[in-house]
Structure 1
């Protein structure tokens, strides 16, 4: 791919067996490192994404998992540099407005609902414990993202048994062509 790929993990980061970490090793994707993975502050995460995008003039594709999806929506709603992004793969967006969300995620309310200014694909699971399929579809619709439902894969993380997840990589490559 001619784009640089920025990996945006969610709350508590993505471990070595997570498909995002595997993609970094296999494809050379770049993780956007946050200062605090355990108590994520939305403004801090948005600033780090902005700094990373501005540090390199090449266009980027964003590969977000979980809270990383909310990061993309929040950043896109406020940044004047959204033209740096050519597309976003939004995997397992969480419903941070759920009543049972941990207090570490309260700063991620309300969920930004503005349409994204770049193409996006939202990948959802039918049994994600952090977001119902209906809420995920509503967020994706608001963001203008195409929805791909995988079936019962939980939070689409290392426990989902996806390995290197070639299906997800194919979705990213399709975004790169838009």
Structure 2
């Protein structure tokens, strides 16, 4: 387990970074939206944010990564929040193009197997738990309303991701008051520098 950094480091500008929002997309004040505006990272748009189909989201991620010629020389880093984390796990378990990704930052993975998950997310069961074929860091909150810390920690272990405990920060979203989330930017910079 690694500590949550306090550095203001930013990611390497040469590394393509793709943002994978969760269910209902990331609102304008979400740290992912701020990174998109301020740092030029690219959000992968899904055709249906309200009723997300796992297969459709996986196909879209594959489509975007295959279409980016930069990734033949410099693989991307994926920055996922919430359901985006489950997308990374499911995609990596099935895609033939995982070589186009060098690492992933997985923030607040939800427990889609919980009984109280809304029906829109039922097709995200079972959770894919295969070890990821690239380095990953999973950031987990101790009071995430969508996943118990123990469950999130086990997912991180199954995926082979280094675990970062963020403390009681809710779902690590806009309501958590992260603003630009410099600690997350430092984790992203760590991934970009280590996974070369």
Partner of 2:164, secondary structure, is: strand
Partner residue, 2:24:
12
Consecutive unaligned residues of structure 2, counting only runs of 5 or more, are 1-11
Structure 1 position 75, deviation (Å): 0.1
Q: CA RMSD in A?
A: 0.5
CA distance in 1, matches of 2:65, 2:106: 17
Greater RCO (CA < 8 Å, at least 6 residues apart): 2
Per-residue CA shift, 1:27-48, capped at 9, x if unaligned?
0000000000000000000000
CA distance in 2, matches of 1:61, 1:134: 26
Counting only pairs closer than 5 Å after superposition, residues 19-30 of structure 1 correspond to structure 2 as: 19-30=31-42
Consecutive unaligned residues of structure 1, counting only runs of 5 or more, are none
Partner residue, 1:74:
90
CA distance in 2, matches of 1:13, 1:80: 26
Counting only pairs closer than 5 Å after superposition, residues 1-178 of structure 1 correspond to structure 2 as: 1=12, 2-57=14-69, 58=71, 59-178=75-194
Per-residue CA shift, 1:128-147, capped at 9, x if unaligned?
00000000000000000000
Q: How many equivalent residue pairs?
A: 178
CA distance in 2, matches of 1:9, 1:177: 23
Partner of 1:88, secondary structure, is: strand
Partner of 1:22, secondary structure, is: helix
Per-residue CA shift, 1:97-145, capped at 9, x if unaligned?
0000000000000000000000000000000000000000000000000
Normalising by structure 2, what TM-score? Answer: 0.90
